[in-house]
Amino acid sequence: MEEQVKHRVFIALGSNLGDKHKNILDAVNYLIEEGVDIRKISSIIETAPYGLTEQPSFLNCVIEGYTELSPRKLLLLLLDIEKRLGRVRTIKWGPRTIDLDIIFYDDLVIDEPDLKVPHPDMKNRIFVLKPLVEIEPDFVHPIFKKSVKQLLEDLEGKSK
């Protein structure tokens, strides 16, 4: 029997509606149930909303895992988990029970209309970079050729 290749993925999780902590834990459990081998989970941090700021604060974390799913199938799984946890997409950057984003998939670069990896706006999102640096500071962004720690330092330098 042929062994499937496992791909290293980083997924960002966020919630600002309902029981935010439970929503994140439920999403992690669904990922495990669906065969994502989670190796690391960052601390859960509270952050201000991004984009549309008139809404509740978010809880955010990042997981590192391994999956046999293709990038497209992983995206479909994340969308399915969001739906299971009550996510309704009405307003861009609006409140949500759960938000799941592929940040990295191995060191692939994918630029399709509905699938972009690495996540195109991650370098501007402290709520992605901070937890990511906690679990894997030396991971190198395949486009910018900088470690995620360097990207966080760049972002924090901009905000001073």
- Domain 7-158 class in CATH: alpha beta
Entry pTM: 0.91
The CA distance from 98 to 135, in Å, is 21
8 is catalytic: no
Is 106 one of the annotated active-site residues of the chain?
no
Residue at token pair 């989970």: 41
Does residue 80 have an active-site annotation?
A: no
pLDDT digits (tens, 9 = 90+) for 54-73: 778 889 999 999 999 999 99
Whether 87 is catalytic is yes
Token pair for 9:
């993925």
Tell me the per-residue pLDDT of 146-156, one tens digit each, with 9 for 90 and over.
Answer: 999 999 999 98
In the chain, what are the domain boundaries? 7-158
Q: What is the pLDDT of residue 97?
A: 82
**What are 148-156's contacts with CB under 8 Å, separation 24+?**
151/122, 151/123, 152/126, 154/123, 155/123, 155/124, 155/126, 155/129, 156/126
Give the active site residue among 8, 26, 39, 101.
101
Active-site residue (options: 87, 107, 138, 154): 87
Q: Which amino acid is at 90?
A: T
